[in-house]
Amino acid sequence: MSLAVVTFFYPNAVVYISGFLNCIQQQTAQKFTLIVFNDGVQNISSLFTKYNNNIIFVEVTGTPTQVRFQAFEYLKSSNFEKIIFQDIDDEMTSNRVDVLSKLLENHAIVSNDLSLVNNSGVMYSKAIWSDKIKDLFEFDDTFIKRKNIVGIGNSGIRKDILNTKITYSSMPKVADWFMFYQLMYLGNFKALFTTQCQTLYRQHEDNMAGVKNFDKDRLDYVIMVKLSHYQGLKDVGFQVEDDINELNLLQSKIKNITNMPAIKQNLFWWDETNEIQIN
């Protein structure tokens, strides 16, 4: 099966190009085409002159959600049967392309664990979800309805799932979650989680879904992101009123709280509201 590794490039990502290309070139599996969706970088090919393998540049523009939808449309009409995503500001273990490519032979969607690195690329927490879910754990849309483990930076898909029609909305703040949830729900797809490889997930200020310290500001932010997610789903026809009402109630409860209760570490993305207990 033909394989593509896909990333998204934008002006602020130029500083990460060296680390990204290093991890691409160190992959144990090299039979793939690199697709770079470029949003606003001039003369982008000049930044990839040290990369000698197959590469395709595709121009896109718009908000992150609009860019993701444009990319999915391009990939749906491409000749690549397996697609592995990699965020430009992250890196990955050298076996990631090999592991995901093999698992995609029999699974529509595969997501992998994360190891946390600082902005300099130094790892400080390895395989952060491996103590919560085991290797080759299979899950469906109900698992990611209230939290998420499937993002552009840690997933691979078979192209045929893109035939499932998903609908754009400008409301969600997190395009990946919005799109993957629709794909899994509408297409009735199951996904596989693996700890056999990791995305080296860079923690920096511009990282929306970073694994942050927990305080009231963080909880307010998570509630805002989740409300925008469910409002986007409602906008395109999903029945998520109970989820919206639950978050609105939590938001009202925490308005006057000064001391936040303790919460578990290394939660899934957007999982904080599921773990916190407010009387």
For residue 212, pLDDT over 70 is answered with: no
pLDDT in tens, 165-176: 999 999 999 999
Distance CA 115, CA 161 (A): 27
Kindly state the percentage of the chain with pLDDT values over 90: 84
Distance between CA atoms of residues 216 and 249, nearest Å: 15
Helical pair 216-235 and 175-187, crossing angle rounded to 10 deg: 40
pLDDT band at 204 (very low <50, low <70, confident <90, very high): low
Residue 25 has pLDDT above 80, yes or no: yes
pLDDT at 211: 52
The pLDDT of residue 245 is 97
Nearest partner of 261 among 275, 249, 250, judged by Cα: 275
Residue 38's pLDDT is 97
Structure confidence by residue, pLDDT tens digits, 219-259: 999 999 999 999 999 999 999 999 999 999 999 988 877 77
* CATH code at 3-202: 3.90.550.10
Q: How confident is the model at residue 1 (pLDDT cuts 50, 70, 90)?
A: low
277 pLDDT tier (thresholds 50, 70, 90): confident
The band of 73, judged by pLDDT with boundaries at 50, 70 and 90, is: very high
Q: What is the mean pLDDT of residues 11-26?
A: 94
- Give how far the C-alpha of residue 65 lies from the chain's centroid of Cα atoms, to the nearest Å: 12
Residue 7 has pLDDT above 80, yes or no: yes
Strands 109-117 and 33-38: unpaired
